[in-house]
Structure 1
Amino acid sequence: MTRLLDLSPSTPRTSPWPSGTGRTLAIGAFLALVLGGLAWLRLPAVARDTFWAEDGRNFVQSAMFHGWGDLFTPYGGYLHLLPRVLANTAVMAVPLDGYALFMSGAASLVAGVCAGIVWMVSRQHVGSGWALVIGASTVLAPLAAREVLGNAANIHTILMWTLFWVLLYTPTRRSTAALLALFALVAALTEVQAVFLLPLLLWRSRSRLRRIVYGGTLAGVLAQLLCVLLSPRKQTAFGHVEPLSYPYGFVINALMPIVLPTRAIGPVLSTTAQLVPLLLVAAFGAAFLVLLRGASSTARVIVSAALLLAVLTYVAGVYTTPLDLYDYASHSPAQLRAVWLARYGVLPSMLVISALCVAAGDRTRTRPEREGMRRSEAVRKGVAFGVVTLLLLSFACFFSPSDTRRSHGPAWQPQVVQAREECAEGAAAVTLAQTLGWSVEVPCGRIR
C-alpha cells in the first residue's frame, strides 16, 4: 500500500518525503482524521443535524426518488458528482433520521482527507511545518465554518482548493499519478471552476506522470463544459455590484476574516470605511515583498498562481450571483455594520494563506552569502515568524464561528419524529423544513 504514494526518498529532487514511507502515510491519515474531526467540531450541534441548502432539497431528495441514476444529473448548470455520491450513500446505508448527520459528518471527513492530501503534496515545495499550516487551513480557515464546512453542497470549494495543490505536485510513480488523476477527475466533475486551473497544466508539462494527472483533470473539465452547453445555468440572483465592490469585497471576505472576528468586521467597516481594508492590503503586500526576496522561481510561480486564482474565483462567484449584498462600495455605514460575508471568500482566503506560507517556507530558497543579504534574511525570518504566529492565532481564536447559517436549525431528527406521527395518520408524504426556507419531500413509505 505504501508504494501507492510518493513516500520514498529515492528521488530527492522531486520527492520531499523522509525515510520511513509507512510513517509518512500514517501521519497523513492521522492528519485527515484529526482535521476532519476539527471540521465537525467547528459546527454547533444543531448545525450538524440541519440540512444545508441543496443537500436536502436537491441531493438527498433526488437520491430518494431516483437512486444512483442521478449521479450525473446537472443542477445549476453544472455537475455535482461527490455531493450526489454522498447523498445516495446516505439514502442507501443510513436510517432516515440520520441523513442530515451523515451528510455533515461525511462532508467533514472529506475535508479532512483533502487536508491530508494538501499536506502531503505541498511538502514538495515547502517545509513540513509550513505544509502543516497549509493543510490545516483546509478546515481552519476562519470563514470556512460559515457555509462551506460540514455540507456537501459546498464541498466543491474544498475540492477546488485541493486540486490546485495536486496540480502543483510532480509524482514519481505511475500508481501515485493514477490515484491523483482519479481525485482530479472527481474534483473537476464536482467543481465547474476547475476550468480556471487549466493554465497550470502548462507548467512542467513534459513530465509523463504529470500528464496522467492532467488527463483526469481535463476529462472532468470537458464534461463540465459540455454540461454548461447542454444545460446552461439559469439566472436566479438579481442585483447590482459596482466595479469597486469587487476589490473591496475581496478584502472584506478574503483578508479581514484572517485578522478580525467575523462579528467585528461590520463595526470596523462602518467606523473606518475603506481605511482598514487599505491598511490590510498594504500590510499583506509588504509581507509578500519581504518574504519573496531570494525566493526560487517555483515559489514565485506558486504565489502568483495562488493570488491570481484567489482574485479570479472571488470575482467569478460574485459576478455570477449579483446580489446587492455584495455591492459593498455602495453600502451606507449602517449597512456595513451588518455586512454580509460570502462563501466566495473562503477559497481566496485559503489561497492567500497558502501564498504566505509558500513565500515564507520555500524549500529551495537561495542561501545568503553577503553581509547585507544576511541582514535581509534576518528581516525575512522575522516577518515569517510574524506570519505563522498570526495564522496560528487566527485558527485558534476564530475556531468557533459566530454563525454557520445553520446555527438555529431546523434540526432534522425532531422533524422525522413528528413525520412518523403524520404518516401513521394516513399521509402519503410529508414535507420537512431545512435552511433558507427550503424543504425536503419524503414519501411516507420510506418513513415507515
Structure 2
Amino acid sequence: MDAPSAARATGGIPARTRPRAALLPDWAWAIALVVLGSVVSWFRIEHAARALWAEDGTFFLGDALDADPVSVLLQPYQGYLHLVPRIIAGAVVSVVPVEGYAIAMTVGSCLVVGAVSAVVFLCARSVVVWLPARIAIGALTFLAPAAGWEVLGNAANLHWYLLWLAPWLLLAVPRRRSTAILLGVVGLAAALTEIQMLLFLPLLAWRFRDPNRWIVGAGVVIGSALQVAAVLLSPRDAGAETSPPFLSTVQGYLYHAPMEAVFPSRQWKAAWVIHFGWWGAALVMLPFLAALVWVLWRGIAVERIAAAALAAGSVIAWSAAYVLNSNPDFFYSEIPVALAVHLHLTRYGVVPASYLLALVVLATSVAWRAGVLRRTSAVVLVGAVVLTVVAAIVPQPSVRADGPDWAPEIPPARSACTVDEPPGRTAIAIAPEGWLVQVPCERLAG
C-alpha cells in the first residue's frame, strides 16, 4: 500500500504516529462499551427515578398510543423532530405490557447511551490514536459527571447524547463504503433527533474529497434540513421576551461546563463558587485551556481541528441552549452569588462539560503519539478517568425521583376504565406534577 492509501485508511494519521495493533479488535471494544455503557447508565439512575418523565409519557408514549407508532415518527413537538425517542416509545407500546412502560422507556434510553458510546469510540479512531484515550472518549458518553441529575434514563434528553456524538461522527473517515453507509444512517437518525447537529456541519470541509465522508455527512445534512423545515412549519412556543445578559451567559457557562466536569456534586460546585466567587469558577477553566493550547501546538491537523471543534462546541452548545430558552429566573449576574449557585440548568451543561473532558483526553493522545511526556500523559489520562468515574458514582438526586411510580397507578386506572360506557381512556399521572398520559381503556384491558 502506498503512503497516500495508507493515510486514507487511517483517517490521515501518518504511519509513523500510528499505534501498534491492539490486543482486541475494535469491534470487541465497541461491544464491551455497549454493554458497559447500558449497565452503568441503568445503575446511575435512582430506583425511584426509573419513572416516566414529562414528554416521555405525555407526548412520545401518548402519541404512539393514539395512532400507529410509525405514523408519528416524524411528528414535530415544540418545533423539533424527535426520531429516536419516538422509535423507543413505538417499540414500547408495541411489545411491552402497559405496567412496564416506565421501566421499558428507561431501559431503551440506557441502551441508546451504550450504543452511542460505541459509535463514538469507533468514529474517534480517525482522531485519537492512543487506544486507552479512545476508550476513555467512548466511556465519557455514560460517565458524563452531571448526567445523573436529569439527563440519564429518559428519552426526552437523549438528544444531548447525539450532540456529543456529532463532532466524532463528522470527523470520521470510514475505511469501507458499507461502514460509511451505516454511519450515514446513524447521522440521519441523530440529526432527526437533535437539531444542534448542524452546528458541526463545517467539519465536513475536512478531507472533503473523500466520498465516504460525504456519505456520512449526507445523513446529517438531510436530517438537519428536515429539522429546519420542521421549525419553520411548526414553530416552537415563544420563549421569554428578553435575552439573558452576556455576563449571565458567561457565568452560567462556567458553572455548568468546567465546574460540572471537575466537581462530583452540585453541593461542591456551590461551595466553591460561594467561597471563591465567579473568578474562582473561571480558574477551573485553566486545565482545559492548557489542554487546548497543547493540542493546537503539538497536534497534527485532524487533532487541531477536533480540539477547536470541541472547545467551540462547548461554548456554543451551552450558549445556544441558554439564550434560546431564555428564562429571567436564571439570569446569574442579576442575583447574589449565594442564590445563583442554587440555579441549575444541568441538562444544558452535560455535553459542554463532556467536550472539555474530551479535550484533556485528546491532549494525552497527542502527547502519546508525539512520543513526548508519555508518562505524564498516562498519569493525566488516569486522573481524568478517575475524576469522571468518581463524579459518576457520587449519588445525585434525580428530579424524577419524586414520582409518582407508574406501575402502581395501573390497577386503579384499569378499575376506572371498567365503568366507562362506552370505553374511552383514562389519565395516569407522571412526573413532574401536572403531566399526564392518556391511556386507552382497551390498552389497559389488554
2: CA distance, partners of 1:155 / 1:212: 24
2: CA distance, partners of 1:173 / 1:363: 29
- Please say if 1:432 is aligned against 2:428: yes
Q: Which amino acid aligns with 2:306?
A: I
| Equivalent of residue 252 in structure 2, options 249, 256, 261 | 249
1: CA distance, partners of 2:174 / 2:396: 41
1: CA distance, partners of 2:40 / 2:268: 24
Does structure 1 retain, via aligned residues, the 8 Å contact 2:360–2:384? Answer: no
- Please say if 1:316 is aligned against 2:325: no
Q: Name the residue aligned to 1:57.
A: 58
Q: Name the residue aligned to 1:43.
A: 45
2: CA distance, partners of 1:234 / 1:12: 45
Q: Name the residue aligned to 2:439.
A: 442
Identify which range, 183-192 or 338-347, moves more after superposition.
338-347
Q: 1:23 and 1:382, CA in 2 relative to 1: closer, same or farther beyond 3 A?
A: closer
Q: Name the residue aligned to 1:117.
A: 119
The offset of 1:193, in angstroms, is 0.9
The offset of 1:57, in angstroms, is 0.6
Does structure 2 retain, via aligned residues, the 8 Å contact 1:125–1:363? Answer: no
2: CA distance, partners of 1:189 / 1:237: 26
Q: Which amino acid aligns with 2:123?
A: V
- Please say if 1:353 is aligned against 2:349: no
Q: Name the residue aligned to 2:402.
A: 408
2: CA distance, partners of 1:12 / 1:363: 19
Q: Name the residue aligned to 1:95.
A: 97
| Equivalent of residue 263 in structure 1, options 255, 263, 267 | 267
- Please say if 1:128 is aligned against 2:125: no
2: CA distance, partners of 1:214 / 1:339: 37
- Length-normalised TM-score, structure 1: 0.89
| Equivalent of residue 109 in structure 2, options 107, 110, 117 | 107
Alignment of 1:371-410 (within 5 A): 377-378=372-373, 382=376, 385-386=379-380, 388-410=382-404
SS in 2 for 1:289: helix
| Equivalent of residue 162 in structure 1, options 161, 165, 169 | 165
2: CA distance, partners of 1:387 / 1:221: 34
The offset of 1:269, in angstroms, is 2.1
Q: Name the residue aligned to 1:152.
A: 155
Identify which range, 95-104 or 270-279, moves more after superposition.
270-279
Identity in percent = 32
1: CA distance, partners of 2:63 / 2:376: 54
Q: How many residues align?
A: 430
Q: Which amino acid aligns with 1:52?
A: W
Identify which range, 395-404 or 304-313, moves more after superposition.
395-404
The offset of 1:259, in angstroms, is 1.8
Q: Name the residue aligned to 1:194.
A: 197
Q: 1:447 and 1:265, CA in 2 relative to 1: closer, same or farther beyond 3 A?
A: same
Does structure 2 retain, via aligned residues, the 8 Å contact 1:43–1:145? Answer: yes
2: CA distance, partners of 1:60 / 1:94: 12
SS in 2 for 1:74: coil
Does structure 2 retain, via aligned residues, the 8 Å contact 1:306–1:355? Answer: yes
Does structure 2 retain, via aligned residues, the 8 Å contact 1:266–1:339? Answer: no
Q: Name the residue aligned to 1:373.
A: none
SS in 1 for 2:67: helix
Q: Which amino acid aligns with 1:429?
A: R
2: CA distance, partners of 1:172 / 1:98: 41
Aligned-pair RMSD on alpha carbons? 2.5
Query: Any gaps of 5 or more consecutive residues in structure 1?
Result: 1-7, 368-376
The offset of 1:39, in angstroms, is 0.6
Q: Which amino acid aligns with 2:61?
A: V
The offset of 1:416, in angstroms, is 1.2
2: CA distance, partners of 1:58 / 1:318: 23
Does structure 2 retain, via aligned residues, the 8 Å contact 1:42–1:400? Answer: no
2: CA distance, partners of 1:312 / 1:97: 41
Q: 1:13 and 1:278, CA in 2 relative to 1: closer, same or farther beyond 3 A?
A: closer
Does structure 1 retain, via aligned residues, the 8 Å contact 2:133–2:362? Answer: yes
Q: 1:442 and 1:324, CA in 2 relative to 1: closer, same or farther beyond 3 A?
A: same
